[in-house]
């Protein structure tokens, strides 16, 4: 894994790699494109340099290992590609293949949970939507059908409503679809019901330990059958809890009870529990709570002897969970590993909400270090709030940390991720997202000014679109409106490509972006920053975007 020195580009410090999370280069440049409407003199200046130093690359669909080109990009696949320089068949694709070939139902993970089917209960915890970012309904249905076919007599669904990767308000439709399938299973001899639920940003799906309270609420509802809100059916639960000012993402935890008031889905010794999300970040914590004997992040009160499996193994370093239905993508020989093996020093920083994106995802879903002596990972604590309330987030603090790292001269590459365009974009609040983009742009200026001062080199990019389109659209791309004429917000990512800008005084005059590779994607960026650091990119990576 030895990196060869670049024949033209000298080893320069600092090399800044900056990711504007959720900043797409969308063709539709109207009042609902927050990146376009926002005052962004820094990004404008980069764009104005023209195609020798600025272009866009694909960040969605097959270019990042997703099943189809209708799949929007997301941070997991985006940061995986940016870190590894390869297009890897991702979780969503691997689950599809496993279901299609039927290997899911013969693999060790299935054999591990199967003993519960005949006389215990199978519990399925799932983000209930077709977002394709963390889960998909057709895959959940595949798991349910497989279980019923293999003799499952009792099934309980623990549903997490979405409204983030799919439009707000769709939770009712997804539940109706699920309910119909559960009724069919019940008719066919498997007693199938919703046991508990809640919004994905209220219960269970916390990430990077931002708020263990969310996971505790999820554990209480799904496993213990305890929540403040109880209902005798799930449709009434959603109708009651999803009020005008509560989005699907934030529906509070609820439990379904029988006529006697007992929870219908509390987990008992001998039950099997499967987390049906394929994406790791937001299910690592619940997996720890369901798997670890020794666990002190909250008081579980009761810890049934359950057979727990994930849709995938979520953390390759921790081997968590031990049992899983589909083997995860193998993401090896990433840039981080190359750097560590070549004695190069890395600095990576973001705030909590994106911290694992620039470390865990970047390093191929590994929570550890390749070589701790060479890698510094700095996490700035995020606020716990709905981020349209605080759209500036921690961009200033991230900037300060990035600048300090560059000034120190200790690092061969300084990597920072600004969470704002994505995290605020997910709230669907256009004004706040514009503010988020402006803050991000102002902070980027500070970093680029310092690169200038220090004679360094930079690469600015993003992992997928989000802030670049804040409304739902018709096929003709017109903004859809509700009955009162208000635009229907888009909370999800987009299919837009993302910008790539290079520059800095350390960049030799002959170096510029290639004008071929029109189909280049995020994986092509890895070789690009390796070049900018003064090395030839390994052959196993997608081609670099620069010529010299």
Binding residues for Mn(2+): 21, 75, 422, 426, 463-464, 493
How many residues in the shown chain lie near ligand 3PG by CB under 6 A? 11
| Region 96-125 residues binding ligand 3PG, contact defined as CB under 6 A | none
Report the helix count and the strand count for the chain, using DSSP H and E: 16, 17
The answer to whether the CB of 219 falls within 8 A of the CB of 289 is: yes
Tokens of 60: 């969605």
Nearest to 223 by CA among 290, 176, 143: 290
Q: Is the N-terminal amide bond of 315 cis, ω within 30° of 0? A: no
- Token look-up 């849709």 returns 311
Instruction: Determine whether 75 is an active site residue.
Output: yes
The answer to whether the CB of 110 falls within 8 A of the CB of 95 is: no
214 near ligand 3PG, judged by CB under 6 A: no
Q: Cβ closer to Co ion: 281 or 422?
A: 422
Interacting span for ligand 3PG (CB under 6 A) from 68-76, 330-338, 403-411, 522-530: 68-76
Q: Cβ closer to ligand 3PG: 322 or 386?
A: 386
Please give the Cα distance from 529 to 119 (Å, whole number). 56
Could you say which of Co ion, ligand 3PG, none residue 165 binds, taking C-beta under 5 to 8 angstroms by partner kind?
A: ligand 3PG
Among 25, 71, 96, 165, binds ligand 3PG (CB under 6 A): 165
Interacting span for ligand 3PG (CB under 6 A) from 72-80, 135-143, 171-179, 501-509: 72-80
- Token look-up 């990119």 returns 537
Task: Give the shortest CB-357-to-ligand 3PG separation in angstroms.
Answer: 7
The answer to whether the CB of 308 falls within 8 A of the CB of 323 is: yes
Please give the Cα distance from 518 to 527 (Å, whole number). 16
Among 86, 282, 288, 394, binds ligand 3PG (CB under 6 A): 282
Q: 127 φ, ψ to 5°?
A: -75, 120
74 near ligand 3PG, judged by CB under 6 A: yes
Spell out a b/e string for 348-362, using b for 16 or more CB atoms within 10 Å of the CB, else e.
bbbbbbbbbbbbbbb
Task: Give the shortest CB-357-to-Co ion separation in angstroms.
Answer: 9
Nearest to 277 by CA among 319, 327, 238, 312: 312
288 near ligand 3PG, judged by CB under 6 A: no
The answer to whether the CB of 85 falls within 8 A of the CB of 541 is: yes
463 near Co ion, judged by CB under 5 A: no
Please give the Cα distance from 445 to 448 (Å, whole number). 5
Q: Cβ closer to ligand 3PG: 134 or 158?
A: 134
79 near ligand 3PG, judged by CB under 6 A: no
Among 216, 351, 422, 512, binds Co ion (CB under 5 A): 422
Task: Give the shortest CB-449-to-ligand 3PG separation in angstroms.
Answer: 27
Residue in the shown chain whose Cβ atom is closest to ligand 3PG: 75
Interacting span for Co ion (CB under 5 A) from 222-230, 418-426, 499-507, 516-524: 418-426
Nearest to 196 by CA among 267, 247, 119, 120: 267
Binding-site residues sit at 21, 75, 134, 164-165, 200, 207, 279-282, 354, 422, 426, 463-464, 493
Measured CA distances, 418 to 19, 66, 539 (Å)? 6, 24, 30
Catalytic residue among 56, 75, 135, 544: 75
Sign of the Cα pseudo-torsion (30, 35, 40, 43, in order): negative
Window 417-436: contact mask with ligand 3PG (x via CB under 6 A) = -----x---x----------
Task: Give the shortest CB-101-to-ligand 3PG separation in angstroms.
Answer: 27
Residues at the site binding ligand 3PG, with contacts judged by CB under 6 A: 22, 74-76, 133-134, 164-165, 282, 422, 426
The set of catalytic residues is 75
């Amino acid at each position: 894994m030895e990196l060869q020195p670049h024949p033209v580009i000298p080893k320069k410090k600092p090399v800044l790699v900056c990711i504007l999370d959720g900043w797409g280069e969308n063709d539709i440049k109207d009042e609902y494109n927050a990146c376009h409407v926002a005052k962004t003199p820094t990004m404008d200046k980069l764009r104005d340099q023209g195609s020798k130093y600025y272009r866009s690359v694909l960040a969605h669909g097959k270019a990042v290992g997703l099943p189809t080109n209708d799949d929007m990009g997301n941070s997991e696949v985006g940061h995986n590609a940016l870190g590894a320089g390869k297009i890897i068949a991702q979780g969503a694709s691997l689950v599809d293949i496993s279901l299609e070939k039927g290997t899911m139902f013969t693999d060790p993970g299935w054999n591990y949970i199967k003993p519960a089917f005949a006389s215990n209960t199978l519990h399925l915890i799932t983000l209930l939507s077709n977002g394709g970012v963390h889960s998909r309904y057709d895959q959940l249905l595949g798991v349910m059908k497989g279980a019923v076919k293999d003799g499952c007599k009792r099934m309980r669904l623990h549903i997490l409503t979405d409204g983030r990767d799919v439009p707000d308000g769709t939770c009712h439709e997804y539940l109706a679809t699920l309910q119909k399938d559960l009724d069919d299973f019940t008719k066919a001899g498997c007693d199938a019901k919703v046991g508990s639920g809640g919004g994905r940003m209220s219960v269970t799906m916390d990430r990077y330990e931002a708020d263990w309270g969310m996971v505790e609420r999820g554990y209480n509802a799904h496993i213990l059958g305890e929540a403040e809100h109880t209902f005798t059916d799930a449709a009434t639960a959603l109708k009651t809890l999803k009020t005008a000012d509560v989005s699907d993402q934030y529906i509070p935890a609820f439990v379904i009870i029988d006529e006697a008031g007992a929870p219908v889905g509390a987990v008992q010794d001998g039950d099997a529990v499967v987390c049906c999300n394929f994406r790791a970040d937001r299910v690592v914590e619940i997996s720890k709570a369901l798997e670890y004997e020794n666990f002190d992040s909250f008081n579980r009160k009761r810890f049934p002897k359950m057979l727990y499996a994930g849709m995938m193994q979520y953390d390759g370093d921790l081997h968590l969970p031990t049992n899983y239905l589909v083997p995860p993508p193998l993401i090896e020989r990433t840039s981080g590993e190359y750097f560590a093996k070549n004695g190069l020093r890395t600095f990576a920083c973001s705030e909590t909400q994106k911290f694992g994106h620039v470390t865990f995802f970047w390093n191929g879903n590994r929570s550890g270090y390749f070589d701790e002596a060479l890698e510094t990972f700095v996490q700035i604590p995020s606020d716990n709030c709905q981020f349209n309330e605080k759209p500036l987030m921690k961009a200033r603090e991230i900037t300060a940390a990035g600048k300090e790292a560059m000034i120190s001269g200790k690092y061969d590459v300084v990597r920072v991720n600004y969470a704002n365009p994505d995290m605020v974009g997910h709230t669907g609040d256009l004004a706040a997202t514009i503010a988020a983009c402006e803050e991000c742009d102002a902070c980027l200026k500070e970093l680029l000014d310092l690169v200038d001062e220090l004679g360094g080199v930079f690469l600015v990019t993003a992992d997928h679109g989000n802030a670049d389109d804040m409304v739902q659209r018709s096929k003709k791309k017109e903004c859809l409106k509700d009955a009162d004429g208000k635009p229907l917000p888009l909370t999800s990512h987009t299919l837009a490509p993302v910008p790539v800008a290079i520059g800095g005084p350390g960049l030799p005059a002959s170096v510029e972006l290639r004008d071929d590779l029109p189909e280049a994607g995020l994986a092509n960026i890895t070789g690009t920053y390796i070049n900018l650091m003064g090395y030839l990119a390994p052959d196993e990576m997608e081609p670099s975007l620069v010529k010299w």
